[in-house]
């Protein structure tokens, strides 16, 4: 059986996903939850993430760095990217994908 990935977005009553470069609502601990969920690489059947046995073998072979592990991807629009403080861009330990139709902005996003 192949794996299944679900992508979800929360919408305000007006179908908006943002307001004035911020979320349209306040949820306690939302950023910590977002970080935990988007950086978690737990082992599931069919997952690309190595099993504990494979992780131990990697350690023994000197391949125990973050570069050797798979990462989750975070997909965002350009305005979300712009709304994040410089010190938080790109989001660490995740592949950051920024969607924009303005090709002139690409050099300012690429790192």
Catalytic residues: 23, 30
The count of other CB atoms within 10 Å of the CB of residue 98 is 20
* CA-based nearest residue to 35, from 72, 78, 86: 72
- Say which residues have a Cβ less than 8 Å from residue 91's Cβ, sequence separation at least 6: 38, 74, 84
- Say which residues have a Cβ less than 8 Å from residue 39's Cβ, sequence separation at least 6: 72, 93, 94
Helix ranges restricted to H, 12-83: 30-39, 52-60, 78-83
Q: Is 51 helix (H, G, I), strand (E, B) or coil?
A: coil
């Amino acid at each position: 059986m192949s794996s299944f990935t679900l992508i979800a977005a929360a919408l305000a009553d007006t179908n908006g996903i943002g307001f004035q470069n911020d979320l349209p609502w306040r949820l306690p601990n939302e950023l910590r939850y977002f970080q935990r969920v988007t950086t978690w690489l737990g082992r599931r059947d069919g997952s690309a993430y190595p099993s504990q046995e494979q992780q131990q073998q990697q350690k023994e072979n000197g391949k125990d760095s973050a570069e050797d592990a798979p990462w989750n991807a975070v997909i965002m629009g350009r305005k979300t990217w712009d709304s994040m403080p410089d010190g938080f861009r790109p989001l660490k330990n995740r592949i950051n994908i920024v969607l924009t139709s303005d090709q002139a902005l690409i050099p300012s996003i690429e790192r």
